Structure 1
Amino acid sequence: MRQKWTAAELPDLTGSTFIVTGATAGLGEVTTRELARAGARVVMAVRDEAKASRVVHGIGQTRGVIEVRQLDLSRLASVRRFAQDWTGPVDVLINNAGISLMPLQYTEDGFELQMATNYFGTFALTQALLPHLTDRVVSLSSQLHRTSRLRIDDLNYATHRYSPAAAYADSKLAVVLFANELQRRLSNAGSGVRSITAHPGIARTALVAHDPSIFGRVNSLGPLLNDVEHGALPTLFAATQDVPGGSYVGPDGLGGIKGFPVIGRASAAARDAGGAKVLWEETASLVSGVMPAA
């Protein structure tokens, strides 16, 4: 019988540096705690530094070190500032931060808020930190990427109807396409850095709790879903185990909804190399058009 991987099997991470975005709650908080317990230096890249400090206090003593730095992925000026202030190597960047099911609104950069936070900010941050990265990038997606009908020619919903749930799915498909294209570009450049996608299945977190629709009531399904501890396992597995670049890691249960981490397969749309290349080029154009100068 195949062994079920858990956080107890994390290697000694002493001397390694991890950046975890969106680390103040849910999956990000558990990821931060477990990496630090294994001896890592973990930098919590967060919007709310006071909340992050309370999380650090709650985690308590660990073998590693936890630091807090300000980062708002929905604002490219904040992404630029975070990257400019960074010095030294980063072993692993974990693109965990995300929001969901938000009404239509636009950021100061002119991007739809969910796409800005979940995708554009992740794209810009990863690009800016690549010179510092030594091991891998882990980007968080969702099984809901399978429902996306992403319009690469209209990433900000200027011409087609906006739906909060559809926009969330679109942002998560964009993340997988980005992660896969990043791996192709890294490989072509002869880099040893890996790009990996992880997803938590459906975990009981606060991500959708604010939404009054059926999506917001998903946490009531209880035992049918992953708890947050199990939901963080694919991220921890992808970030620390010998996983090939381009992998899609998630729970091993039926439909990838719950269970223990294994390497699975993203949707056919997410594996479209041509679409990923077009998305990358469109994103680079949009981001460079509003990214503050270095």
Structure 2
Amino acid sequence: MSTSNDFTEANVPQQTGKAFIVTGANAGVGFEIARVLAAKGARVLLGCREQARAQDAIARIKRITPNADLVWLPLDLGDLDSVRTAAEIAAHEPRIDALINNAGVMNPPLMRTKQGFELQFGVNHLGVFALTNLLLPKLAETSGSRVVVTSSVAHLKAKIDWDDLNADTSYVKAKRYGASKLANALFFFELDRRLRAAKSPITAIGVHPGIAATSLGRHMGLAQLAGPIVGLVLNSADKGAWPALLAATGKVKPGGYYGPTGFCGVRGTAGEAERARHAEDPVLAKRLWEVSVAMTGVDSGLPPV
């Protein structure tokens, strides 16, 4: 296993006999994660909302790896009922070695989840919180299992508006995105603390993909930039997958945070990444955990540290 700050998909060891859940696996970084894991012999459950897009992704991967073991896992992180059903389906798998929480939304206009939560906080954090906690019993069946939570460089200067979590008073989409990514960082930090205190066999790790050209082009109006120019500055989807692949299959520290190690943490090979000091605040992390339990109704029973 690669232990230095130069991890790429070439460093992913053989994964035969292992099984992974990858959310948002039909496109972008999630697709690349699934592609690599399948090529390494893993069974991959593609957590996606739409069957047609999931099946298209499966067909694309099978053109590269004909014997790939792939299956669609119906999952809408914006609907807690769907999250519960997905966890129930996954629990019937013989084993789950890692849950890779990759899916998310970025900078949409004000929208709400099925349960009425602000969409970015609801999908990026609450859906991830619920899915992860529902799957902990299954993950605990496999020694060395992992939970990977995707944050973002956007968390570094973000703040959570505790008095307006649901954006009932105000909504600035970029600030809400940053807040949801700070929530991701606080979540894996607190999850790691609780898992270790409980002597769980599960390891929690955080990652970020840098700034991938795919997501920026779709959400921030940069799609018109020439590909070579984007490639000089931003990460591509396949390279954006490297931190998650490191976290899921490489040698990592429990509670560690990994991302691109090149230009300003935006692109390059994967290794340890910078996180904001307030993303490691145990008081904030505990508060978020308790609020998340109350909002989702999902409680894994992991005791506070």
TM-score between both structures, scaled by the size of structure 1:
0.92
Distance 1:40 1:152 in 2: 40
Distance 1:4 1:186 in 2: 28
Consecutive unaligned residues of structure 1, counting only runs of 5 or more, are: 290-294
Question: What does 1:38-187 align with in structure 2 at a 5 Å threshold?
Answer: 38-60=40-62, 61-62=65-66, 64-86=68-90, 87=92, 88-133=94-139, 134=142, 135-159=145-169, 161-187=170-196
| Distance change in 2, residues 1:62/1:137 (3 Å) | farther
Identity %: 42
**How far is 1:5 from its partner?**
2.1
Distance 1:286 1:139 in 2: 19
C-alpha RMSD of the superposition: 1.6
Distance 1:94 1:118 in 2: 13
Partner of 1:209: 217
Tell me whether 1:7 sits opposite 2:13 in the alignment. no
Question: What does 1:186-265 align with in structure 2 at a 5 Å threshold?
Answer: 186-205=195-214, 207-211=215-219, 215-217=220-222, 220=225, 222=230, 223-265=232-274
Deviations 1:210-242 (A, max 9, x none): 44xxx3327835111111111111111111012
Deviations 1:55-75 (A, max 9, x none): 111112355411112100000
**How far is 1:209 from its partner?**
3.1
What is the DSSP-based 3-state SS (H/G/I as helix, E as strand, rest coil) of the residue aligned with 2:146?
strand
Aligned residues of 1:24 and 1:52 also touching (Cα < 8 A): yes
Aligned residues of 1:93 and 1:138 also touching (Cα < 8 A): yes
Distance 1:70 1:196 in 2: 24
Consecutive unaligned residues of structure 2, counting only runs of 5 or more, are: 299-305
**How far is 1:83 from its partner?**
1.3
Aligned residues of 1:40 and 1:63 also touching (Cα < 8 A): no
| Distance change in 2, residues 1:5/1:12 (3 Å) | same
Distance 1:122 1:52 in 2: 19
| Distance change in 2, residues 1:210/1:242 (3 Å) | closer
Aligned residues of 2:210 and 2:260 also touching (Cα < 8 A): yes
* Residues matched between the structures, number: 283
Tell me whether 1:20 sits opposite 2:22 in the alignment. yes
Aligned residues of 2:5 and 2:271 also touching (Cα < 8 A): no
TM-score between both structures, scaled by the size of structure 2:
0.89
| Distance change in 2, residues 1:63/1:94 (3 Å) | same
Distance 1:141 1:284 in 2: 20
Distance 1:18 1:219 in 2: 35
Partner of 1:292: none
| Distance change in 2, residues 1:218/1:259 (3 Å) | farther
* One-letter amino acid matched to 2:287: V
* One-letter amino acid matched to 1:77: D
Aligned residues of 2:157 and 2:276 also touching (Cα < 8 A): no
